[in-house]
Structures are given as C-alpha cells and as structure tokens.
Amino acid sequence: MYFKLGGSHTEQGMKYLYDLDRLFIERNLSIGGSADTLILTIFIGQLTGLL
C-alpha cells in the first residue's frame, strides 16, 4: 500500500507511514524483534552445525 501511495515522495505515503507508526506504538509492536530472532536462530544454527 505504501508504494502504491507514492512512498515517501508523496504526502499520502508519509501519512500512511505516520499512521502505521502510531498504530505500532499503540499496540507495542516492534518489527525489529522478528529480525533479531531470525539472525539469532541462524547464528545458533551455524554454531551447532544445523545450517
């Protein structure tokens, strides 16, 4: 949806990001948490020889 609105080059795209940010804050969501878990899983998998 963000890119269909023109991304950061349009007022609609920036409003979409702002609204999404507010929603994530209200719900205590963090998209970074998933990335942290993934890299830790890969790291442990390599240490143990699973990957």
Residue-wise pLDDT tens digits, 5-34: 999 999 999 999 999 999 999 998 877 778
pLDDT at 21: 92
pLDDT at 11: 96
Cα angle 34, 36, 41 (rounded to 5 degrees) comes to 95
pLDDT at 30: 79
Return the number of other C-beta atoms located less than 10 Å from residue 27's C-beta: 8
Residue 20 · residue 30 · CB < 8 Å: no
Q: State the distance between the two ends of the chain, measured CA to CA, in whole angstroms.
A: 35
**From CA 42, how far away is CA 48, in angstroms rounded?**
10
Under DSSP, the state recorded for 7 is: G
- Please indicate, yes or no, whether the overall pTM of this predicted structure exceeds 0.75: no
